[in-house]
Structure 1
């Protein structure tokens, strides 16, 4: 059988075939290298066979592609067959596959075992949709298929989430033909909508087949498989033809950047700002340390921090997210993120770790304190130097013991200066040039919860160059 070899040829010659066969190449899903890169598994059609016993019927898979997704969604699935509208899958061992019959068995093999072909439509579809991220992505697609007819599935390993498979027509109706636009980004636009039970939703319509597909997979494989109070909730999705849409809970207070940088919105008091800083730290610590895979967001900035009705922060927009297996400490990937929040290792094109999120978070902390873009022009310090770059002012103000001058003027002096100083010190640790000098997000949470004292941070070399004082130390 293609992709397999007899485990014990000697026993086989003696008509003892109990040892069976073994794969020539491990499946991508089960391989230790699966998270380091490579291709997804593919299927080899075996025609004119008698199907093996112990098949499991997947009633909700109503097309051949959905049937293949159902098999790819489980690492133990070894084959599938789709015939006359019925989907059957086999797990683990395949017993008594005979080359006599009129059925087609699609045997799951490692990609290198299946020759690529431009005419292999199913292989292209599987490659485009499943991609090469992790086994978790396959799992979420399987869960999506299971609930396609009954709309929801039960609790998962991370805590119960019901994800709805929407038809495109349903979302057209819910958004009144995408008439109320909430915003737009490089990957598409977001529209407000309402479900039949009056639940307010935000629908992200992804643009571009290739890039939209990539972001769709990234968002589903991250927000679709985890749950946290400070993570925006994925309600559902639409994967119909070339259309890719994601449906999230609606955040009535918009994104953090509106409240920090715009003058016509409600000013956040210091207590709320500190609550937001802590909430974002907690969810990043969770994504980095507590999930099955380390999820690196790669684009932490105020625009991607949403606020619910009680101003609880919800991290959103995982279109650039990178999943890193626990067996790996770093990953090489293309540059992604937003200028001004990029860690130095992005620029040097070295491998990246979760510390890129720590750096971006540090820059966000500085903007939470100041209430303005950290790179925008600021009023000069008392000696008139270092005007124009807020991180430099933070370093000098910590030395001078004058953190009050750093606080957003819109707060009219109403701020806990001990907390302000703590936040500024944490921020300066987070934006260190060397990733090994930055704290983990779990350590950041301990600092902000006052469970650990923040030691004296050195000024990053970049800031030293801007300040022109290489020996400057925050005391």
Structure 2
């Protein structure tokens, strides 16, 4: 028996030390001094395989993905399904006469000339003892002590299998095509908080945005992996794990099954999870991201338009009748214009640059994941930014926020906007080949300029002249505006404002016309800190709201002019429009569009019909959009300073508009430090009002967060809640009997929201009248956004632009910082302990130390509010 063993071992070593020509299939191990060459490539019969795992599930082979192809790769395949799960030399294919060598220095693949095209990492000491293909599919090099020197799992290509980790910073890279393993342009990357799909560095999908994906904890991500239960508490699914390898950060549960699974980034840009059903010998696809094929960056080629999975070209562009996916190109319809390449030398001459406007319902796949290059920019500013950047091939400008997004380096496919209200407008850079023809082959109706988004005049000198004229005209107009807005006291006292005509401003009404429209101001519909509002009907039958300004001191007169100058030039779907004004003797009036459903507080806190959840969400989103416009879109930043339900107006068809922003302040960072006049309403006032901190747009963000919590609950943030209190009766000395009484107990909802957020019990925060209308995920989104908005430190609060994108789901949700929300616990205690449920704070002391952090935030309404 012993002699037979020695002879067998000797024959085995002799076999391994020789060159193998289509030799035997080894199982689990191969030792150094092994060469594999002149292999027969028949992928389906594994003729090129030289090593199998112990259980036979995986094989190491040199093969071609195309039976008729001549490009070969060192691969690991899943044998039952003939599926390649890893490849070595993906960017340097070899011929069928190349060689694979295993030596003490590692594994090497050489071409016909003997040049190394791929190898494992060099080792300081030649210590490779064997090559092993494990039952998991991991191909490893081991040293003499069986320690791993190199593993294929550490160098993933486009696929991971069960048990394989894709650590943070690593990526799956899709192949160029199904027959070409060369690395393509699509990449799946794991970050500290999510997993992203990218095309040429542009994100177009993330795991957390999927409805199947659930976030369990806020731990930083360590790696992605596929798991099966295998008797553990973790179910089948795709997971992002934390540092300890057992804490789940994000999970996507899959069907319970012991089938083999892979997660793969395909050459088409889709990330799929699929399992192999051996009894039927087929793959079952369990998940695809993105599910909408039109979200894939190049699905319809350069500038192609994807609509419901069908490819075409945008208006003013043309291509083949049916755009070839990925390889197609849409070009401007008129041959006088061509699409430039990034940093094309012909762009050096600015007069040769034009811009073709896209239709309003067209969007770009990457914008929802991009940071704008500039906020508060108009279309001209965006155009200049693109024209001055040779890598810029187009831009989108968002009206509500003034955000400017540049499309750089490469253009992908366009898609129809999924939003019912898309306020982004896109422009594609084009080079003027010939200025003699109209871009669309026809004359413009006005006969002056072609119908293009922006067309630069051919003469740079004439352009400078036009710019100079516009600058001078604007300067003159602004100087007039400043005179009106900051005019002397005497102009008011002498009644000169009655004769002022403000160029570009709303119409000036006669006093008699407004008196007749309001039936001598008889129908009062509201009041505020600066006046009373009446309902009226003008001669053209349009219904208006007329605000009669009262309580005007010298400061008030200045603010009246400020209101005209501000809101007269502010136009946004979520801001109440000023239709005109009137100055009659010492009386001033503002005429607004009429919102027939009144203010939000009436619908939210009143006894009428309950606001449905979807309408509440649209109100929250519309309000956020309006504030984002005030903060970013206007020429000067406008800070509302009194965001509350009473200043959010509703109209038919779920229209929502912000009012009273004209009596706000236009602040520069320098001016905000000098702005100390208190403005606002109890419960919505940001802490920085009572400190030396600068007043900024983040004060509005705080107020908005408080309003958002009230929208969730359907009640004021501080309320008396009816609870049942147990009592005991023992009047005769006998056994006590229990009973209960109803009592009012003060509740501070922001603190309750923080506590429920910490416990992930979001459904308990919803208005009880909304049972069955809202999910925990929807509530989590809104509550997390609200808590981020009410951070004590202004710098930790998001901008309103980010709030809009988080609510829309186009930006990952931020995580509330509990350390910046602990002041809610202090206020909650003071609220419940104070007389009549009102907290008592000594304003003059401004005590913010000890166990009363941020006590300055909590003042009574009489101390903080303007007269209401």
TM-score class normalised by the smaller sequence: 0.5 to 0.7
Residue equivalent to 2:802: 443
Higher relative contact order (CA 8 A, sep 6+): 1
Residue equivalent to 1:83: none
In structure 2, C-alpha distance between the alignment counterparts of 1:204 and 1:363, rounded to whole Å = 27
Q: Aligned match of 2:763 in 404, 408, 411? A: 404
Residue equivalent to 1:241: 585
In structure 1, C-alpha distance between the alignment counterparts of 2:552 and 2:702, rounded to whole Å = 32
Q: Aligned match of 2:576 in 227, 232, 242? A: 232
Q: Is the 8 A contact 1:294 1:326 kept in 2?
A: no
- Which residues in structure 2 correspond to 1:41-52 (within 5 Å)? none
- Which residues in structure 2 correspond to 1:191-340 (within 5 Å)? 191-210=534-553, 212-263=556-607, 265-318=608-661, 320-325=663-668, 332-340=675-683
Residue equivalent to 2:533: 190
- Which residues in structure 2 correspond to 1:352-371 (within 5 Å)? 352-371=695-714
Stretch deviating more after TM superposition (163-172 or 329-338)? 329-338
Residue equivalent to 1:145: 501
In structure 2, C-alpha distance between the alignment counterparts of 1:165 and 1:454, rounded to whole Å = 46
1:254-287: CA deviation from partner (whole Å, max 9, x where unpaired): 1000011111x22110100000101111111111
Residue equivalent to 1:124: 489
The structure having more radius of gyration, on CA atoms, is 2
Unaligned stretches of 5+ residues in structure 2 = 1-473, 724-744, 830-850, 852-868
Residue equivalent to 2:787: 428
Residue equivalent to 1:417: 776
Which structure has more strand as a fraction of its residues?
2
- The normalised TM-score by structure 1 is 0.64
In structure 2, C-alpha distance between the alignment counterparts of 1:455 and 1:146, rounded to whole Å = 44
In structure 2, C-alpha distance between the alignment counterparts of 1:240 and 1:76, rounded to whole Å = 21
Q: 1:123 to 1:249 in 2, by over 3 A?
A: closer
Q: Is the 8 A contact 1:188 1:207 kept in 2?
A: yes
Q: What is the deviation of 1:185?
A: 2.0
SS for the counterpart of 1:377 is strand
Q: What is the deviation of 1:393?
A: 0.8
SS for the counterpart of 1:443 is helix
In structure 1, C-alpha distance between the alignment counterparts of 2:532 and 2:746, rounded to whole Å = 37
In structure 1, C-alpha distance between the alignment counterparts of 2:626 and 2:520, rounded to whole Å = 34
Q: Is the 8 A contact 2:669 2:696 kept in 1?
A: no
Q: What is the deviation of 1:351?
A: 2.3
SS for the counterpart of 1:217 is helix
In structure 2, C-alpha distance between the alignment counterparts of 1:379 and 1:199, rounded to whole Å = 45
Q: Is the 8 A contact 1:205 1:244 kept in 2?
A: yes
Q: 1:331 to 1:308 in 2, by over 3 A?
A: farther
Q: Is the 8 A contact 2:613 2:773 kept in 1?
A: yes
In structure 2, C-alpha distance between the alignment counterparts of 1:238 and 1:296, rounded to whole Å = 25
Q: What is the deviation of 1:222?
A: 2.4
Q: Pairwise CA RMSD of aligned residues?
A: 3.3
Q: What is the deviation of 1:239?
A: 1.2
SS for the counterpart of 1:310 is helix
SS for the counterpart of 1:238 is strand
1:111-163: CA deviation from partner (whole Å, max 9, x where unpaired): 9xxxxxxxxxx95334889xxxxxxxxxxx9997156xxxxx5xxxxxxxx72
Which structure has more helix as a fraction of its residues?
1
- Which residues in structure 2 correspond to 1:14-53 (within 5 Å)? none
Q: Is the 8 A contact 1:231 1:283 kept in 2?
A: yes
In structure 2, C-alpha distance between the alignment counterparts of 1:169 and 1:427, rounded to whole Å = 46
Q: What is the deviation of 1:186?
A: 2.4
Residue equivalent to 1:344: 687
Q: Is the 8 A contact 1:232 1:249 kept in 2?
A: yes
- Tell me if 1:75 matches 2:431: no
In structure 1, C-alpha distance between the alignment counterparts of 2:798 and 2:661, rounded to whole Å = 22
Q: What is the deviation of 1:76?
A: 8.5
Residue equivalent to 2:817: 458
In structure 2, C-alpha distance between the alignment counterparts of 1:142 and 1:187, rounded to whole Å = 20
Aligned residues: 331
In structure 2, C-alpha distance between the alignment counterparts of 1:75 and 1:339, rounded to whole Å = 38
SS for the counterpart of 1:75 is helix
In structure 2, C-alpha distance between the alignment counterparts of 1:168 and 1:128, rounded to whole Å = 18
Q: 1:72 to 1:330 in 2, by over 3 A?
A: farther
Q: 1:271 to 1:349 in 2, by over 3 A?
A: same
In structure 2, C-alpha distance between the alignment counterparts of 1:255 and 1:307, rounded to whole Å = 6
In structure 2, C-alpha distance between the alignment counterparts of 1:362 and 1:77, rounded to whole Å = 34
Q: 1:387 to 1:242 in 2, by over 3 A?
A: closer
Residue equivalent to 2:224: none
- Which residues in structure 2 correspond to 1:39-118 (within 5 Å)? 73-75=477-479
SS for the counterpart of 1:300 is coil
Residue equivalent to 1:9: none
1:201-238: CA deviation from partner (whole Å, max 9, x where unpaired): 00000113425424422322322121100000000000
Residue equivalent to 2:520: 177
Q: 1:146 to 1:183 in 2, by over 3 A?
A: closer
Q: 1:437 to 1:324 in 2, by over 3 A?
A: same
Unaligned stretches of 5+ residues in structure 1 = 1-69, 79-107, 112-121, 130-140, 148-152, 154-161, 381-385, 471-475
- Tell me if 1:374 matches 2:735: no
In structure 1, C-alpha distance between the alignment counterparts of 2:576 and 2:499, rounded to whole Å = 19
Q: 1:461 to 1:143 in 2, by over 3 A?
A: farther
Q: Is the 8 A contact 1:379 1:388 kept in 2?
A: no
In structure 2, C-alpha distance between the alignment counterparts of 1:402 and 1:449, rounded to whole Å = 22
Q: Is the 8 A contact 1:285 1:441 kept in 2?
A: yes
In structure 1, C-alpha distance between the alignment counterparts of 2:713 and 2:500, rounded to whole Å = 43
SS for the counterpart of 2:610 is coil
1:298-345: CA deviation from partner (whole Å, max 9, x where unpaired): 000000000111121100012540102488776523111111100000
